[in-house]
Amino acid sequence: MKAYRTLLTRLPEEECDIDYIKRLMALTNLVYRGYEIWSPDLPKTIQHHLYESFKNYMGNLVFGATPKRWFAKTWVPLKTLRIYQDDLRKGIGNAPVVLDFRDNVIRLRQVCKNEPRYSIELPMPKWVVERLKEGGDIKFAMIGLKNDKPYLALVAERVVEPYQPSGYRLVVDVNSWRYGIAWGLIKNGKIITWKTEKPDTFLINTLYHQTIERERKVGKLKTLGYSGSAKVDEIKEQARARRSKIYRITRDKVYFLASKLVRKALKYKALLVIDDMTEESRRELLEEGLPRDIIKLLISNLRKFVHQLETLAKWHGVPYRFERLPSTVCPMCGSKLVQEDGRVMVCDNCGFKAPRDMVPMHWAIKKVEIIVRECVVKEKMGWG
């Protein structure tokens, strides 16, 4: 099984010709549509790579390679040459992207400007070296524009077989960022540890209200004719700083948690069971009366979390399954649960009682046996 991870790095604008990159993206789109157009003014090697690289990309989709509509901007796939410390070389000799681990630089040849032998040099991102240590290889790269800024996307590839799960299951319930993400480690039908983790919603809320307050002040000052004054700029800057802090703390939490949970699964050789229920989370958040911008941010971070969890699981060979684990249905008898004070769920039919975030864990215990049996059957049949 091949696993992929992608890193975006911003390219120095002053060293790039945006129109040239735009043109390469347009050509890539045409290649994707099956056209072959040779433009006499473009470097031959680049045109060659465009058609050659694309063949390798078809059906091997990584990031942004599928244009959604005609003439949409498509990232340009590029082959790479890797030069290692011991002078060992892998890849294509005249590739447009050279990853030189001896000098710790990345060289981009002919893709930033349409000038003969034009090349730029970037420092090697730490991320690349880390993926290399984990057994990955950067076979592909892509160049493209995001919000009209030039970027290089590096795609690490790793061939990895998921391990045979031990008796442990790591269940991750993506509830909502309001109450957090609940996870539990289960063995032999018993919950060994469980925890809910969440970003500091109190801090987020505070920052949000501070932002709004400042943005209103700026609006008021502008109508009074103070736009462009130093005071207005200062308040604007304060609002911007708060907004980006909200973004940063939620995003950091996403990456931190996903990596923590995958490491935990690795440690116990657990089967990772993910309950991804973003619609219910959205409703819960709306009920909480949080501001709409914040809900949007939290939901998008939830999606990012699930995506990151899946990406990391694939990369490290952690076997995983998506399973619906309801928190409002009784795991013992299937009746509807009633929520009492303190988010405690109670079954009127059989007397089951548990904190709301624990209910999915009980479902997991019940369902996991079925999942495992299914896995065994699939392996026997060779589907896995």
Under the rule (CB under 5 A), what is the footprint of Zn ion?
Answer: 330, 332-333, 335, 347, 349-350, 352
Instruction: Specify the residue, 63 or 352, whose C-beta has the smaller distance to Zn ion.
Output: 352
Separation CA 222–CA 219 (nearest Å): 5
The residue among 156, 160, 159, 158 whose CA lies nearest residue 9 is 156
CB 177 within 8 A of CB 184: no
Residues contacting 330, CB < 8 A, separation 6+: 336, 337, 347, 349, 350, 352
To Zn ion, the closest distance from the beta carbon of 343 in angstroms equals 18
HEC letters along 32-54: HCCCCCCCCCCCHHHHHHHHHHH
Instruction: Specify the residue, 172 or 347, whose C-beta has the smaller distance to Zn ion.
Output: 347
Separation CA 248–CA 172 (nearest Å): 23
Distance of CA 116 to the CA centre of its chain: 37
To Zn ion, the closest distance from the beta carbon of 143 in angstroms equals 57
CB 270 within 8 A of CB 264: yes
Residue 217: count other Cβ atoms within 10 Å of its Cβ: 16
Separation CA 153–CA 25 (nearest Å): 14
To Zn ion, the closest distance from the beta carbon of 367 in angstroms equals 16
To Zn ion, the closest distance from the beta carbon of 272 in angstroms equals 27
Instruction: Specify the residue, 194 or 352, whose C-beta has the smaller distance to Zn ion.
Output: 352
DSSP string covering 272-318: EEEEE-HHHHHHHHHHTT--HHHHHHHHHHHHHHHHHHHHHHHHHT-
The residue among 165, 186, 178 whose CA lies nearest residue 362 is 186
- Across the chain, where does the E strand assignment appear? 2-10, 76-83, 89-91, 97-100, 105-109, 119-123, 137-146, 149-159, 168-176, 180-187, 190-197, 271-276, 320-322, 338-340, 344-346, 353-355
Residue 299: count other Cβ atoms within 10 Å of its Cβ: 17
Instruction: Specify the residue, 123 or 334, whose C-beta has the smaller distance to Zn ion.
Output: 334
To Zn ion, the closest distance from the beta carbon of 25 in angstroms equals 57
To Zn ion, the closest distance from the beta carbon of 349 in angstroms equals 5
To Zn ion, the closest distance from the beta carbon of 340 in angstroms equals 14
3-state helix, strand, coil in the chain (%, to 5): 45, 25, 30
Instruction: Specify the residue, 1 or 332, whose C-beta has the smaller distance to Zn ion.
Output: 332
To Zn ion, the closest distance from the beta carbon of 332 in angstroms equals 4
To Zn ion, the closest distance from the beta carbon of 350 in angstroms equals 3
Instruction: Specify the residue, 247 or 352, whose C-beta has the smaller distance to Zn ion.
Output: 352
Instruction: Specify the residue, 313 or 330, whose C-beta has the smaller distance to Zn ion.
Output: 330
